[in-house]
């Protein structure tokens, strides 16, 4: 079992609030937490709640969070919205019910499912309680004391939308795109990865901000994308940043997740490469790249130079993407001709009945042979 996040809260917001308004106790994401045998987690609301209480600590699977985030019309929300203590990765929590198990030297006893309550419909969206039944997580007792620590932290997300689009002649983010706009389509792709927090790199004169995103406004005449990466990596509470440009509509949540997961496991940036050229605007950037980006900003180096240098230092991996896949997934939207080509594609998707549900990239809806190989 890997730990993607740890959450504690000093009081109850939902537990015991039936028929009343929810509480307002904040939930805090921590790097480590102390487990006290027979009692619970230090600093959490269930510490010493009852003798031999079955819910001294609660576990929730990151995989379930990601799956829920991918469902149509699910608003962006953090993993702590479920108010579970331990966000896990790579384990079947249901299989631990009734069993003793050890995590980082701490022994637990799985008691039963952490069944979702009606409050989930309010915390996320209507229907969430029903969807989570059978996958609401695990309630457990602490059998031996010790410490848990985050060892595979989740990723944040950055949508790059501040470009001037001089060749296209209009703001790319506001282009009509299916039932909404290109910006909303790309924001949805990034949100479906489960990343949190979500950042929007934009200009001060761009009024649009997608739901759930925080603005990172560009400084006039400053360092563009390099500066946006620096600011997002410096502010992010987690070391990995999923980066997506607004003009790469073929990129899918699944392809971004693959890069993010590789970056999380290996502790390096993962920037796909096509024909020797890095693709830094559909990639997973790791905080270890921050010094190199700062040097590049001072020198005026390009992102291609940054990627090459980081690769030589062992701080970046560049999986090669086949040209056939790149033509689908990494096609830019820079000119009126590009826009016309994509408009034709969206029309084909709509005629095929996929235009109203862009849960994956448009290429995946219109091309049965499309895939995410190497990205």
Residue 101 phi/psi, 5° resolution? -150, 155
Q: Please tell me if the domain spanning 2-149 has the same topology as the one spanning 156-366.
A: no
Question: What is the mean predicted confidence (pLDDT) over 32-55?
Answer: 96
What is the predicted pLDDT for the residue at 73?
87
pLDDT over 80 (residue 347): no
Question: How many other C-beta atoms are found inside a 10 Å radius of the C-beta of residue 226?
Answer: 20
Q: Report the percentage of the chain scoring pLDDT > 90.
A: 69
pLDDT over 80 (residue 316): yes
Grade residue 175 by pLDDT with cuts at 50, 70 and 90.
Answer: confident
* Token pair recorded at residue 222: 């400053």
Judged by DSSP in three states, 191 sits in helix
Which CATH number fits the domain 156-366, given the four candidates 3.40.50.300, 3.20.20.70, 2.30.110.10, 3.90.550.10? Answer: 3.90.550.10
What is the predicted pLDDT for the residue at 23?
65
Look at strands 32-36 and 28-30 and give their pairing. Answer: unpaired
State the DSSP H helix or E strand holding residue 5, giving kind and residue range, or none if neither: strand 2-8
Q: What is the mean pLDDT of the chain?
A: 86
Higher per-residue confidence, 332 vs 252: 252
What is the predicted pLDDT for the residue at 362?
38
What is the predicted pLDDT for the residue at 179?
84
Instruction: Please give the DSSP secondary-structure letter assigned to residue 320.
Output: B
Which CATH number fits the domain 2-149, given the four candidates 3.40.50.2000, 3.40.50.150, 2.40.33.20, 1.10.3720.10? Answer: 2.40.33.20
What is the predicted pLDDT for the residue at 353?
56
pLDDT tens digits, residue range 322-333?
777 776 777 777
pLDDT over 70 (residue 113): yes
Q: Report the percentage of the chain scoring pLDDT > 70.
A: 82
User: Measured between alpha carbons, how far is residue 258 from residues 151, 209, 261, 272, 319 in Å?
Assistant: 18, 26, 5, 11, 11
Question: 197, 214 in Cβ contact below 8 A?
Answer: yes
Grade residue 162 by pLDDT with cuts at 50, 70 and 90.
Answer: confident
pLDDT tens digits, residue range 13-24?
667 656 667 766
Grade residue 373 by pLDDT with cuts at 50, 70 and 90.
Answer: very low
Instruction: Please work out, in degrees rounded to the nearest 5, the angle formed at the alpha carbon of residue 68 by the alpha carbons of 87 and 357.
Output: 150
Whose tokens are 């400084």? That residue is: 219
What is the predicted pLDDT for the residue at 102?
98
pTM: 0.85
Question: 120, 128 in Cβ contact below 8 A?
Answer: yes
* Token pair recorded at residue 341: 């080509």
Q: What residues have CB less than 8 Å from 163, skipping those under 6 apart?
A: 172, 245, 246, 247
Question: How many other C-beta atoms are found inside a 10 Å radius of the C-beta of residue 351?
Answer: 10
* Token pair recorded at residue 267: 């502790």
User: What is the sign, positive or negative, of the torsion defined by CA atoms of 255, 261, 262, 264?
Assistant: positive
Segments making up each domain of the chain, as ranges: 2-149, 156-366
What is the predicted pLDDT for the residue at 350?
55
Least confident of 98-112, 216-230, 349-363: 349-363
Residue/partner pairs of 361-366 with CB below 8 Å, 24 or more apart: 361/189, 361/249, 361/250, 361/251, 361/252, 361/255, 361/329, 362/178, 362/249, 362/250, 363/250, 363/252, 363/328, 363/329, 364/252
């Amino acid at each position: 079992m890997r730990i993607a996040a740890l959450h504690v809260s000093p009081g109850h917001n939902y537990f015991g609030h039936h028929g009343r308004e929810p509480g307002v106790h904040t939930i805090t994401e921590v790097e480590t937490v102390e487990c006290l045998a027979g009692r619970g987690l230090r600093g959490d609301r269930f510490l010493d709640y009852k003798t031999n209480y079955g819910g001294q600590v609660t576990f929730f699977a990151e995989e379930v969070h990601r799956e829920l985030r991918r469902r149509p019309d699910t608003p962006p929300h953090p993993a702590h919205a479920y108010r579970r203590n331990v966000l896990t990765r790579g384990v079947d929590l249901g299989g631990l019910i009734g069993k003793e198990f050890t995590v980082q030297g701490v022994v637990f006893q799985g008691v039963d499912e952490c069944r979702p309550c009606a409050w989930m419909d309010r915390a996320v969206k209507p229907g969430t309680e029903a969807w989570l039944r059978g996958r609401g997580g695990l309630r457990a007792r602490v059998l031996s004391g010790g410490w848990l620590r985050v060892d595979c932290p989740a990723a944040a997300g950055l949508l790059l939308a501040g470009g001037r689009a001089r060749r296209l002649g209009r703001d790319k983010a506001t282009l009509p795109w299916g039932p909404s706009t290109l910006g909303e389509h790309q924001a949805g792709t990034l949100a479906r990865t489960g990343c949190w927090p979500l950042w929007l790199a934009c200009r001060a004169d761009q009024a649009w901000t997608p739901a759930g995103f925080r603005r990172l406004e560009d400084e006039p005449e400053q360092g563009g994308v390099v500066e946006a990466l620096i600011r997002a990596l410096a502010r992010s509470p987690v070391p990995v940043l999923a980066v997506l440009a607004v003009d790469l509509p073929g990129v899918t949540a699944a392809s971004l997740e693959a890069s993010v997961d590789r970056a999380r496991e290996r502790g390096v940036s993962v920037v796909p490469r096509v024909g020797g050229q890095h693709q830094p605007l559909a990639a997973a950037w790791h905080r270890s790249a921050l010094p190199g980006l700062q040097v590049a900003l001072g020198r005026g180096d390009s992102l291609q130079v940054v990627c090459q240098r980081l690769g030589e230092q062992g701080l970046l991996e560049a999986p090669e993407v086949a040209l056939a896949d790149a033509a689908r997934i990494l096609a830019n939207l820079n000119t009126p001709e590009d826009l016309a080509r994509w408009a034709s594609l969206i029309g084909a998707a709509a005629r095929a009945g996929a235009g109203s549900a862009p849960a994956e990239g448009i290429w995946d809806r219109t091309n049965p042979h499309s895939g995410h190989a190497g990205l």
